Amino acid sequence: MRGTGEPGYLHTARGSLFTLRHPPERPCQGVILHLPAFTEELNTCRRVSAQAARHFASQGWWVWQFDPTGCGDSAGDMAQASWQDWVQDAQAVLQHALREPDLPEQAPICLWGIRAGALLCADVLPAAQALAGQRPVHLVWWQPQLHGKQILQQWLRVGSAQAWLGQTQGTGADAAGALARGESVCVGGYTLSASLAADLNAARSVTPPPSHECARLVWLDVQASAEPSPGNARLLDTWQSQGWQAQWEPVNGPLFWQAPGREDAPALAESSLRLLGHPSA
Amino acid sequence: MKPMSLLPQVLTVLDQALQTQGRALQFNAQTPLLGAVPELDSMTAVSLIGALESHFGIAFDDGDLQADAFADVGSLCALVERALG
């Protein structure tokens, strides 16, 4: 299920974090830290992210994956987790990753976020830039969700959708009401605390931190149309205006975050490396 | 807009959101959805609703999102028509 990669545990103030470390199979190009998708999407994206991690490693990148506190195989209970816990988890893994002895001094760092992981990237970025020192920090986003409020709404809707399809009772309005009263809710098998919901409602990537000179933002959306949506186009402009080399491309492929698929999506990883300016093999 | 003229657009969004590989483009207003289309589950239903909102520039009232809205293609079109005002 996990594929290749060396499993391990990193001990943090929040408990043990499950990590997967993929050493580079060629002279080292840099470090990629994966920031995963949220709740059920963490599972539906596993196959595609595992394939991509293997591809990146085969092209010379150190790739680190982890399960955030309260998720997957990491310690803790999602009902007690906060968005800030997850930001600190990512910082801890990056700090650990930068201790690899054979990592060249100027080798870049990439924060690779899928879906809600992209919002986590944006929040981790300032700390990553501080840890990076002279190294460039690039961003790679796949089908990003950059508004916490929207992430929360979509997730509550999954619970409602089970009711629409006659699988459960209750509605999203019930869940939203419970959260507003400070109660936790259980939706689609995941327990969300009122405080994590509040964190999400507040989390929104609006002001990108200024970039180092050559920092790239690689943004891939799985879609047929050749242009980004108006909302995404505005976001790309905002990042560009802060000095980021923002590159958006549509990719043909399965909507991999919707269901645990059996289809491959090699174009995502290949395009990511191409747009990062990775020298071709 | 009358419900029937929404049909081609709704089918296009349905095909993309559920990834039916063109099958949904052959549906008509009577084609059953709930329980009949295997790709329709809670996650793709959320994606479908989001895609309809995005395509038509509307926001559905959560109260309108009930099982009967997903009964067939016609009821889905009616849902969109109501949100279009």
Residues of B in contact with A167 (CB under 8 A): 42
> Could you tell me which chain A residue has the CA closest to the CA of B54?
A229
* Complex ipTM: 0.75
Q: Do A258 and B47 touch (CB under 8 A)?
A: yes
The confidence band for A81, taking pLDDT boundaries of 50, 70 and 90, is very high
Give the model's pLDDT for residue A173: 67
Residue B19 has its nearest CB partner, among A172, A188, A254, at: A254
3-state SS assignment for residue A112? strand
Q: How far is CA A183 from CA A29, A39, A51, A186, A262, in A?
A: 46, 18, 38, 10, 37
Q: What is the mean pLDDT of residues A214-234?
A: 89
Interaxial angle between packed helices A117-132 and A83-97, expressed in degrees from 0 to 180 and rounded to the nearest 10: 40
Quote the CA–CA distance of A273 and A250 in Å, as a whole number. 15
The answer to whether residue A36 scores a pLDDT higher than 50 is yes
Residue type present at position A139: L
Give the model's pLDDT for residue A161: 86
Give the model's pLDDT for residue A155: 84
Q: Do B62 and A40 touch (CB under 8 A)?
A: no
> Which of A252, A258, A262 is the best mutation test for B, with the most CBs of B within 10 A?
A258
pTM of the model as a whole: 0.87
Tokens (6 digits) for A209 = 């931190």
Could you tell me how many CB contacts below 8 A there are between chain A and chain B?
58
The answer to whether residue A221 scores a pLDDT higher than 90 is yes
Q: Do B42 and A171 touch (CB under 8 A)?
A: no
- pLDDT, tens digit, 9 for 90 and up, residues A109-157: 999 999 999 999 999 999 999 999 889 999 999 999 998 888 888 888 8
**Mean of the per-residue pLDDT values of chain A:** 89
